[in-house]
């Protein structure tokens, strides 16, 4: 890959050749997260804004010159990326804002943002001739890896907490993965998966461990800016669990700055659930994340439940370096955000996806944003991923169907009730 210079440890700054290290800095063990460093002069010769205008490739591979894959690598056939960016004027005016967009990654092939990373994972695993890929996940990274593997016939083993939503577990089994349901937390599943991959030599896709996942996740930043005709937004709201998505967005935006394709850095707003707010606490109290111990994570937003965010170094840098903020949101407010976002935009998000919108509502309330800012909210997961969660949200906002006998008189009675509403 001539576009890659090296892999840089975010703790000690040491550089490694990609052929020499697969995952983390040998000197810093599992915490030694690496960042892929690129040669932007080479990249600038391979990809241009003008060239993109004529590109017929409407997937993440549109930006292949900026990704850690060989120019002639075989790419998985599922259509990952280039998800819609919806202008949301009614929701904007409800919040007193002038310009708001919803980027809907619920529209990915396995219905979450994680497809962006898993698409890169199957290419990297094929490069290594891996017989098995493995990952630990709260559910979506698993479903994404599972689906992408199915698309290329790649064997895989998946570790998820047994509490993962049924729809996500169904996806894994339908796609034919070997599924290990761990009677413990996501953090337990992560450790077990790590041990298994070291013991058996399986290729590991784990978030915040495999340096290339952040590279897949950066592609939404390119899409947002291109969809806004390279006029970068002022802020991007995104929910944060392990921190790989927000770290990836930051990386993508830094790439665009390095290429001179955007002229200002959007502020990144990281939204955490109050019951899983490691990064919010670390940011607010200026704590050292290399020594801060894990917390006991608990939230209805299963996709952002992480006691020890694995990509915490990149995630904290993303907010600090862009002059953004972390915001912590109570579970009930996350749940209420599901129907509120859906009713104003037609976008049905799972709890972790709606959390980003709940974060925007809180930011408006606290006057952290001004009315004339251009704001993007990222929906990271489809609402159909967690029907039990959606039903709970409807309970909270007291939305019920009308249950009637199959006759017109019964219907008339219901309709008459609406008139007096």
Ligand X SMILES: *Cc1c(COP(=O)(O)O)cnc(C)c1O
Q: What is the rounded distance in angstroms from the CA atom of residue 336 to the CA atom of residue 394? A: 8
**Measured from the CB atom, is 12 or 170 closer to Zn ion?**
12
Site for ligand X, rule CB under 6 A:
112-114, 140, 207, 239-245, 303-304, 350, 352-353, 380-381
From the list 12-20, 99-107, 132-140, 148-156, the region that binds Zn ion by CB under 5 A is 12-20
Strand pairing report for 34-38 and 4-9: antiparallel
Q: Provide the total of helices (H) and of strands (E) in the chain, helices listed first.
A: 16, 13
Binding partner at 25 among Zn ion, ligand X, none, C-beta below 5 to 8 Å by kind:
Zn ion
What is the nearest approach in angstroms of ligand X to the Cβ of residue 367?
26
**Measured from the CB atom, is 3 or 223 closer to ligand X?**
223
Q: Which of residues 380-399 bind Zn ion (CB under 5 A)?
A: none
Q: What is the rounded distance in angstroms from the CA atom of residue 49 to the CA atom of residue 252? A: 15
**Measured from the CB atom, is 30 or 373 closer to Zn ion?**
30
Q: What is the rounded distance in angstroms from the CA atom of residue 200 to the CA atom of residue 326? A: 38
Q: Give phi and psi for 359, each to the nearest 5.
A: -65, -40
The strand order across the sheet containing 156-161 reads 178-182, 156-161, 133-136, 203-204
Q: Which neighbouring-strand residues pair with 36?
A: 7
Based on the shown chain and the rule CB under 5 A, indicate whether residue 15 belongs to the binding site for Zn ion.
no
Nearest to 105 by CA among 224, 215, 203: 224
Based on the shown chain and the rule CB under 5 A, indicate whether residue 12 belongs to the binding site for Zn ion.
yes
From the list 1-9, 38-46, 90-98, 132-140, the region that binds Zn ion by CB under 5 A is 1-9
Name the burial class of residue 138, with classes exposed (0-12), middle (13-18) and buried (19+) by CB atoms within 10 angstroms of its CB.
buried
**Measured from the CB atom, is 72 or 291 closer to Zn ion?**
291
**Measured from the CB atom, is 43 or 300 closer to ligand X?**
300
Binding partner at 11 among ligand X, Zn ion, none, C-beta below 5 to 8 Å by kind:
Zn ion
Residue that is written with structure tokens 């939204």 in the block: 271
Binding partner at 32 among Zn ion, ligand X, none, C-beta below 5 to 8 Å by kind:
Zn ion
What is the nearest approach in angstroms of Zn ion to the Cβ of residue 391?
46
Binding partner at 226 among ligand X, Zn ion, none, C-beta below 5 to 8 Å by kind:
none
**Measured from the CB atom, is 20 or 27 closer to Zn ion?**
27
Binding partner at 27 among ligand X, Zn ion, none, C-beta below 5 to 8 Å by kind:
Zn ion
Q: What is the rounded distance in angstroms from the CA atom of residue 279 to the CA atom of residue 268? A: 13
Based on the shown chain and the rule CB under 5 A, indicate whether residue 20 belongs to the binding site for Zn ion.
no
Binding partner at 107 among Zn ion, ligand X, none, C-beta below 5 to 8 Å by kind:
none
Q: Which of residues 31-90 bind Zn ion (CB under 5 A)?
A: 32
Q: What angle do CA 7, 11, 13 make, to 5 degrees?
A: 50
Q: What is the rounded distance in angstroms from the CA atom of residue 66 to the CA atom of residue 322? A: 21
Q: What is the rounded distance in angstroms from the CA atom of residue 85 to the CA atom of residue 224? A: 7
**What six digits make up the tokens of 165?**
């939503």
**Measured from the CB atom, is 112 or 154 closer to ligand X?**
112
What is the nearest approach in angstroms of ligand X to the Cβ of residue 357?
12
Binding partner at 177 among ligand X, Zn ion, none, C-beta below 5 to 8 Å by kind:
none
Q: What is the rounded distance in angstroms from the CA atom of residue 70 to the CA atom of residue 213? A: 16
What is the nearest approach in angstroms of ligand X to the Cβ of residue 396?
19
What is the nearest approach in angstroms of Zn ion to the Cβ of residue 17?
14
What is the nearest approach in angstroms of Zn ion to the Cβ of residue 288?
16
What is the nearest approach in angstroms of Zn ion to the Cβ of residue 34?
8
Q: Enumerate residues 6+ apart whose C-beta is below 8 A from 398.
A: none
For residue 28, the tally of other CB atoms under 10 A from its CB is 16
Residue that is written with structure tokens 């399986």 in the block: 202
**Measured from the CB atom, is 239 or 299 closer to ligand X?**
239
Would you give the distance in Å from CA 159 to the centre of its chain? 18
**Measured from the CB atom, is 67 or 316 closer to ligand X?**
316
Binding partner at 386 among Zn ion, ligand X, none, C-beta below 5 to 8 Å by kind:
none
Q: Enumerate residues 6+ apart whose C-beta is below 8 A from 409.
A: none
**Measured from the CB atom, is 301 or 316 closer to Zn ion?**
316
- The residue ranges that bind Zn ion (CB under 5 A) are 9, 11-12, 25, 27-28, 32
């Amino acid at each position: 890959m001539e576009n890659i210079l090296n892999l840089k440890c975010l703790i000690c700054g040491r550089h490694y050749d990609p052929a020499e290290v697969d995952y983390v800095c040998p000197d810093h063990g599992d915490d030694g997260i690496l960042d892929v460093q690129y040669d932007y002069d080479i990249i600038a010769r391979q990809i241009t804004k003008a060239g993109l205008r004529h590109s017929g490739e409407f997937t993440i591979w549109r930006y292949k010159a900026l990704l850690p894959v060989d120019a002639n690598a075989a790419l998985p056939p599922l259509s990952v990326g280039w998800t819609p960016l919806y202008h949301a004027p009614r929701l904007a005016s409800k919040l007193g804002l002038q310009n708001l967009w919803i980027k809907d990654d619920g529209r990915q092939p396995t219905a979450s943002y994680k497809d962006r990373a898993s698409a890169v994972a199957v290419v990297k695993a094929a490069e290594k001739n891996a017989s098995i890929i493995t990952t630990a996940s709260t559910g979506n990274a698993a479903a994404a890896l599972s689906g992408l593997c199915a698309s290329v016939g790649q064997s895989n083993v998946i570790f998820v907490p047994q509490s993962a939503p049924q729809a996500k577990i169904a996806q894994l089994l339908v796609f034919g993965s070997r599924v290990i349901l761990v009677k413990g937390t996501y953090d337990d599943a992560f450790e077990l998966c790590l041990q298994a991959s070291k013991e058996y030599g399986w290729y590991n896709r784990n978030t915040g461990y495999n340096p290339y996942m952040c590279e897949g996740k950066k592609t939404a930043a390119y899409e947002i800016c291109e969809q806004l005709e390279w006029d970068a937004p002022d802020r991007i709201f995104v929910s944060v669990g392990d921190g790989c998505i927000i770290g990836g967005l930051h990386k993508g935006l830094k790439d665009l700055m390095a290429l001179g394709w955007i002229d200002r850095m959007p502020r990144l707003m990281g939204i955490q659930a109050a019951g899983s707010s490691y990064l919010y606490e670390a940011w607010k109290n200026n704590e050292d994340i290399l020594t801060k111990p894990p917390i006991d994570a608990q939230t209805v937003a299963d996709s952002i439940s992480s006691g020890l965010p694995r990509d915490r170094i990149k995630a904290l840098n993303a907010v600090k370096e862009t002059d953004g903020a972390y915001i912590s949101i109570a579970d009930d407010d996350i749940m209420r955000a599901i129907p509120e976002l859906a009713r104003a935009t037609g976008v049905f998000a799972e709890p972790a996806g709606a959390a980003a919108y709940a974060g925007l509502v809180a930011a408006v309330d606290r006057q952290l944003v001004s009315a004339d800012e251009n704001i993007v909210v990222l929906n990271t997961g489809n609402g159909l991923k967690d029907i039990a969660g959606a039903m709970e949200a409807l309970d909270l906002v007291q939305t019920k169907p009308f249950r009637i006998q199959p006759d017109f008189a019964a219907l008339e009675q219901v309709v008459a009730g609406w008139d007096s509403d």
